[in-house]
Amino acid sequence: MEQNLKYAVGIDISKDSFHACISVINMIQKVTIKASHSFFNTPTGFNELLIWVKKYHKESALPLVYLIEATGVYYEQLAWFLYHQDAYVSVILPNKAKKYLEGLGQKSKTDKKDSIGLARMAAEQNHTAWKPFSAKIQQLRALTRHSQALNEQKTVANNQVHAIEHSQYQSKMVLKQLNSFIKLIDKQLDEIHKAIIETIQQDEQLNNKVNNILHIKGLGILTIATIIAETDGFALFENQRQLTSFAGYDVIENESGKHIGKTKISKKGNHRIRRALFMPAFNIVKYQQTPFLTLFERVFERTKLKMKAYVAVQRKLLVLIFSLWKNNQKYDQNYQYKQVAPTSGATQNEVLNEVLLLM
């Protein structure tokens, strides 16, 4: 009988519950599934998970690892719980898990099957231990998300005002209330903006990194704060391709035989990041920031579509922010950025070539 090397628990999680599977791998790399079970996504469910795992982790001297797929924010409480139990817990992006499961030939998607796949993945691979993001980044996420929500409400209210002002019959009372509501939102947005600046300034390292990025003319602190908050300071990203996929900027091709369809970005990612980069892309081109303007002109010349050119600028801007953050480097418009992330990921030129070829 071959000696076992490691136990692994894969967890597929959702809002109300999660499905866990425990596996073990031996010296000849054979993975054996021991059991699977579902639990409520609550503190009681977390404690039940520990009792259940202990039942099957019979060789207590062997390492035990947990692997959780980062589904929205629903994984965070469990990850924090396991972290405080001194468990070795890793968190991976959904796209990374999806590619692994596709490699196993898994076509059906259920919570149980996904947890089994994650348990195999955890047993076969070595993943970086998860670390909780800082309290400052947690605060930033709450502030930036509330800011986006308020802006959405303001847009709706402004549209209502516009519709009423151009209608045959107008209600002065409704207009008065809507305008008062818009003024209240503006006041709250101003308070949130000040709170975001204060939160960043209270953390020296965070403040320095943000100031490095702020040298990009046309990019504001709210955009940077949103990207940092939504990516947890890029903690889960090893390279730029994972980041662009997470944000929905990965490119989908539509070709088969002689058929050549439209090529576009997937938009299957964090919409908050894409929304945050929408206006800065316009501003950066407006201020004629050389590397971005050059990209915009080249993509527009190739496609004759301004929106595709602006999307290329958004994507490049996101990758550049990632590079400056990872390398703790101040933005210089005249500097030729060759490396997007330290020792990993594609070069900036590769990104530009990919965008230009596929747009």
Q: Is the pLDDT of residue 253 over 70?
A: no
pLDDT of residue 340: 43
pLDDT-derived band at 116, boundaries 50, 70, 90: very high
pLDDT of residue 262: 60
| Average pLDDT score over residue span 325-351 | 61
Q: Is the pLDDT of residue 359 over 60?
A: no
What's the pLDDT tens digit per position in 56-72? 998 989 999 999 998 77
Q: Are 33 and 68 in contact (CB under 8 A)?
A: no
Q: In the predicted model, what is the mean pLDDT of the chain? A: 86
pLDDT of residue 134: 77
Residues 6+ apart with CB under 8 A from 56: 7, 22, 34, 35
Q: Are 299 and 355 in contact (CB under 8 A)?
A: yes
Which one, of 245, 181, 193, 244, lies nearest residue 221 by Cα? 193
Q: Is the pLDDT of residue 35 over 60?
A: yes
| Average pLDDT score over residue span 215-239 | 91
Report d(CA 111, CA 68) in Å as an integer. 12
Side-chain half-sphere CA neighbours of 175 within 13 A: 11
pLDDT of residue 189: 97
Q: CATH topology for 4-124? A: Nucleotidyltransferase; domain 5 (3.30.420)
Q: Kindly list the domain boundaries of the chain, sorted by start residue.
A: 4-124, 134-202, 203-359
Residue 151 CA, distance from chain mean position: 21
Q: Is the pLDDT of residue 342 over 70?
A: no
pLDDT of residue 246: 86
Q: Are 20 and 9 in contact (CB under 8 A)?
A: yes
- pTM assigned to the model: 0.72
What's the pLDDT tens digit per position in 154-182? 999 999 999 999 988 888 999 999 999 99
pLDDT of residue 341: 42
pLDDT of residue 289: 87
pLDDT of residue 351: 43
Q: Are 355 and 295 in contact (CB under 8 A)?
A: yes
Q: Are 83 and 75 in contact (CB under 8 A)?
A: no
What's the pLDDT tens digit per position in 119-154? 999 999 999 898 877 788 889 999 999 999 999 999
What's the pLDDT tens digit per position in 300-320? 999 899 999 999 999 999 999
pLDDT-derived band at 355, boundaries 50, 70, 90: very low
Kindly list the distances between the CA atom of residue 129 and the CA atoms of 22, 65, 94, in Å, as whole numbers in the listed order: 18, 9, 17
pLDDT-derived band at 242, boundaries 50, 70, 90: confident
Angle, CA of 178, 183 and 189, to the nearest 5°: 125
